[in-house]
């Protein structure tokens, strides 16, 4: 299996992956899936043997990199791709001057996954598009 994860300008493919996972599988309202942050975000695309299987975006604000819209197609889940996608996002964030931490909103069922990748949960549980989330952070210092 040949896996590559890189920054991409191919938003059409990223949006198609996100639509499949968030809208079709998880029931996120289509009008909430894309937003104005997509225009300025850094997007990552994961390809397995040349086929798109995952994506994430990073929004930079102040010294924080907000990782979001992380998704992996069902066919590639359980392969370690999700962890590699998060690590690629963290690496891209660390490479940006002035960025001191990564933040994300994790679906409650994924808290343990992100904890294994060095993130710490904080704050209350909140609803995002009908799904319970909790904020998490990973300091780079």
What is the secondary structure of 76-103 as a DSSP string? GTTTTHHHHHHHHHHHHHHTSTT--EEE
- Domain tally, the chain: 1
Q: Copy the structure tokens of residue 95.
A: 């490479």
* Domain CATH for 30: 3.40.630.30
* pTM for this prediction: 0.93
| β pairing state of 131-139 and 101-107 | antiparallel
Q: What is the mean pLDDT of residues 99-117?
A: 96
pLDDT in tens, 31-71: 999 999 999 999 999 999 999 999 999 999 999 999 999 99
What is the structure's pLDDT at 36? 95
Percentage of residues in the chain having pLDDT higher than 90: 90
What is the structure's pLDDT at 61? 96
What residue numbers bound the domain in which 103 lies?
Answer: 3-139
Q: Copy the structure tokens of residue 136.
A: 């998490």
Within 7-124, residue ranges assigned H as helices are: 11-18, 30-33, 81-94, 111-116
Look at residues 9, 57, 53 and name the one whose alpha carbon lies nearest to residue 34: 57
């Amino acid at each position: 299996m040949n896996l590559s994860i890189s920054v991409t300008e191919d938003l059409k493919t990223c949006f198609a992956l996100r639509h499949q996972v968030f809208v079709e599988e998880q029931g996120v309202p289509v009008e909430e899936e894309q937003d104005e942050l997509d225009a300025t975000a850094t997007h990552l695309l994961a390809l397995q043997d040349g086929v798109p299987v995952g994506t994430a975006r990073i929004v930079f604000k102040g010294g924080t990199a907000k990782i979001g819209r992380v998704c992996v197609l069902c066919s590639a889940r359980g392969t370690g791709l999700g962890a590699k996608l998060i690590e690629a996002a963290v690496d891209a964030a660390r490479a940006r001057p002035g960025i001191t931490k990564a933040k994300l909103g994790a679906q409650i069922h994924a808290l343990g996954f992100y904890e294994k990748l060095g993130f710490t949960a904080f704050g209350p549980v909140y609803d995002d598009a009908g799904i319970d989330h909790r904020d998490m952070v990973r300091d780079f210092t």
